[in-house]
Structure 1
Amino acid sequence: MTTDDFDLEVPFDPEVKERALRAESSAWDVSHAVAAEPGDIPVIDMATWIATGDAVELARIAEQVNAACQTAGFFQLTGHKVSVDLIAEMFEMNKRFHGLPLGIKQQVRMDRSDWPITGVGYLPMYSRKLPSRDKANLNEAFLVKGNRDLSLADSQWIGDEYLPGFRSTVERYVDAVNELALQMLPIYAVALGLDPDFFAPGFDRPSWRLRMTHYPPVPEILEDDADFGIAPHVDTTFFTLLLQNAAGLMIYSHQRGCWIQAPVVPDAFVVNTGELLKQWTNDRYLSVRHFANNDAAESRYSIPFFYNAAADYPMECLPTCQGPGNPPKYPTISYEQSQAIAQGE
């Protein structure tokens, strides 16, 4: 069974899909990656459209995004309004948090029995979740999330006495990147031949997750049989906005038929389509397999922001992505019915 083998007459089962994704990823040959060539991961600048709101400029950017999502599945986004100073603060806080003694980080360990919210807090090294795999992931992370029922106040936070300014920096960044995500929705709508405001109702109360990840230098002996910094997977999102401070992200290029090493563009977001947008577009947009390692002598840090529609919003096959000879391949489904279970919501 593959992730595209779904019967519209049978209720969608997110656990079945998660098992299919795991089975697919275990079969991928990831033994070799090559350097990216110009154009492998397009660079799209949204500065002029953000500054002017010009419809012609919106159409131009939307055309680029449409092409990128159909051929590469990833692009580098520049010209956004997220402050470079705030980005630098986030990387510094990421580094400082993971430099804290383990005992302090364990105070906010994810999925503690005495904390009512799952999927938030500290995810220790050698975890086998997010993505869920049989082998451990060679990274540690701090996660917060929000949705129709949760705010940042519901996440776990270390005391300010341990790391002054940590919570306030994360909260400011979450506000900024949520604003960026909303600014991108009209681009995706126009790219898909829809009204610029088409997606607005679905993202009135979006579901999102922020992950601050630390990839240490790879040791000579890996504990718990860990093969990857983060195991090969596809995201389960509408889209993901990723910051990275060093090389290590590997992306499968459908155009070249091989794995490529994603370059680092300073202060740019790496943007990729996830499974939900792939399904919403009836497979018009690619949900691309990827993984990450750190082969350098120093730590690597990344900050992905996973963005989804409101938990209960029904995602019906887009009208511009179906027609005679191209019927819907997936049932109408909401985030909470689809990937939320697999993501530990």
Structure 2
Amino acid sequence: MDRIPTIDISPLSDPGSAAFAATVQGIIEACTGIGFLSITGTGVPQQAVDQVRQTTREIFAINESRKWDQAITRENYRGYIPMGFFTPNDGSGKADKYEGYKLHHEVAATDPVRAECALYGPNLWPAEVPSAKEVILDYWHQLDQVTDVLLGALESGLNLTPGILRDAFRNPMTNMTLLHYPPQAAEEAGYGIHPHKDTDALTIIAPDPVGGLEVQTRSGKWISPDCPLGGFVVNIGDMLELWSGGRLKSTPHRVVNRSGKERYSFPYFAVPRHDVIVEPLLHALSGFDRPAVHCGHWSAEIWRTNWPDEAADEDTPELGTLHD
């Protein structure tokens, strides 16, 4: 498949409808063919997307020194990610050309789950943008519901036990990254974000009008999603590829911002609960050979190896980094 289809997912709300099976089949064909699709009919209002985009702009407009005061640390991977701070996880290549703000599944500081996994906890919400928490968590909750619907469709389309995927996302490790990409000159080397595959289960992103997201087809071409206003771009990550025994495709993608404009985006990464073991739920396709992974360990290794002076080791699962 050398194109990214657009699918209206509204029929998924009525499993008894004539359009339900056709919608599920369309989603399966997209996820097994190219691993990306554009979706409409989510019920998420455009106003919610616009509010998050405006909030993202306001967060990156905060005074530089104050942003650094809220920077991520090795002990708390939440908050500001300075421009050019991270290189690809395997230590190769140049630093990516973005600044970010990292948010994880919000739990109270006293939540017992924090004793089981250090990646849980309260986020750093910038005082300079007082509406940020309410605006972003409301949007986040709506995408949680979209994720639940999509996982249900995948369960149906793959003939899995109903609920087997969705149940893994109760008290999940889902996270978001707010991103700001300055424009790159035509002759400027490097990427906004280097070519990679997502290591989560499912990614949902509201398309940015500036553009810059590119997806690699099976034939090796790079194409841009054609997503209508009010829709979302969805892609399969490594965890769902593993769960499906290689049927669902985790596809390389990258960001290159040569628009001459500032680009803002805010991808949502659906990640299961920390104690979930991700392993094939169906027999693996011929040639697909990936070991089972512990979700909490995999996530911790992703954050650890983001630091330039840290390296993957024999206990580190595959981290999605690709080479040109």
**What is the TM-score when the length of structure 1 is the normalising length?**
0.77
2:133 aligned residue: 167
Bigger Cα displacement from structure 2, 123-132 vs 276-285? 123-132
| SS, match of residue 266 in structure 2 | strand
> Which residue of 275, 285, 288 maps to 2:238?
275
User: Is residue 144–residue 152 contact of structure 1 (8 Å, CA) maintained in 2?
Assistant: no
Written as runs of structure 1 = structure 2, the 5 A alignment for 1:71-82 is 71-82=33-44
Query: Shift of residue 198 of structure 1?
Result: 2.4
Structure 2 residue identity aligned to 1:138: K
Q: Distance in 1 between matches of 2:37 and 2:62?
A: 34
Residues 112-134 of structure 1: per-residue CA shift (max 9 Å, x gap): 7xxx42x2101111122575644
Give structure 2 stretches of 5+ with no counterpart.
Answer: 107-112, 306-324
Residues 178-213 of structure 1: per-residue CA shift (max 9 Å, x gap): 122122211111121123322232122221110111
1:142 aligned residue: 101
Structure 1 residue identity aligned to 2:279: E
Q: Distance in 1 between matches of 2:287 and 2:265?
A: 38
Q: Distance in 1 between matches of 2:254 and 2:90?
A: 13
The answer to whether 1:302 aligns with 2:265 is: yes
User: Is residue 142–residue 212 contact of structure 1 (8 Å, CA) maintained in 2?
Assistant: yes
Q: Distance in 1 between matches of 2:140 and 2:119?
A: 11
1:250 aligned residue: 214
1:155 aligned residue: 123
Give structure 1 stretches of 5+ with no counterpart.
Answer: 1-36
**What is the TM-score when the length of structure 2 is the normalising length?**
0.82
User: Is residue 243–residue 268 contact of structure 1 (8 Å, CA) maintained in 2?
Assistant: yes
> Which residue of 218, 239, 258 maps to 2:184?
218
The 1:280–1:219 alpha-carbon spacing in structure 2 relative to 1, beyond 3 Å, is: same
User: Is residue 315–residue 333 contact of structure 1 (8 Å, CA) maintained in 2?
Assistant: yes
Q: Distance in 2 between matches of 1:303 and 1:130?
A: 19
2:300 aligned residue: 340
The 4+ residue runs of structure 1 with deviation greater than 4 A are 129-133, 150-153, 219-222, 325-328
Query: Shift of residue 260 of structure 1?
Result: 1.4
1:316 aligned residue: 279
1:259 aligned residue: 222
Total equivalences in the alignment: 294
Query: Shift of residue 317 of structure 1?
Result: 1.3
1:25 aligned residue: none
User: Is residue 119–residue 300 contact of structure 2 (8 Å, CA) maintained in 1?
Assistant: no
Query: Shift of residue 311 of structure 1?
Result: 1.3
C-alpha RMSD over aligned residues: 2.6
Query: Shift of residue 163 of structure 1?
Result: 1.9
The 1:58–1:206 alpha-carbon spacing in structure 2 relative to 1, beyond 3 Å, is: farther
Percent identical pairs in the alignment equals: 23
Query: Shift of residue 329 of structure 1?
Result: 2.6
| SS, match of residue 200 in structure 2 | coil
Written as runs of structure 1 = structure 2, the 5 A alignment for 1:48-197 is 48-50=11-13, 52-54=14-16, 56-111=18-73, 116-117=75-76, 119-129=77-87, 133=91, 134-146=93-105, 149=114, 154-159=122-127, 162-197=128-163
The 1:331–1:318 alpha-carbon spacing in structure 2 relative to 1, beyond 3 Å, is: same
Q: Distance in 1 between matches of 2:97 and 2:143?
A: 26
| SS, match of residue 329 in structure 1 | coil
User: Is residue 225–residue 233 contact of structure 2 (8 Å, CA) maintained in 1?
Assistant: no
Query: Shift of residue 146 of structure 1?
Result: 1.7
| SS, match of residue 137 in structure 1 | coil
2:167 aligned residue: 201
Q: Distance in 2 between matches of 1:200 and 1:281?
A: 14
User: Is residue 247–residue 262 contact of structure 1 (8 Å, CA) maintained in 2?
Assistant: no
| SS, match of residue 27 in structure 2 | helix
User: Is residue 280–residue 292 contact of structure 2 (8 Å, CA) maintained in 1?
Assistant: yes
Q: Distance in 1 between matches of 2:179 and 2:136?
A: 13
The 1:207–1:250 alpha-carbon spacing in structure 2 relative to 1, beyond 3 Å, is: same
Q: Distance in 2 between matches of 1:140 and 1:63?
A: 38
Q: Distance in 2 between matches of 1:151 and 1:295?
A: 35
User: Is residue 107–residue 158 contact of structure 1 (8 Å, CA) maintained in 2?
Assistant: no
Q: Distance in 2 between matches of 1:85 and 1:236?
A: 29
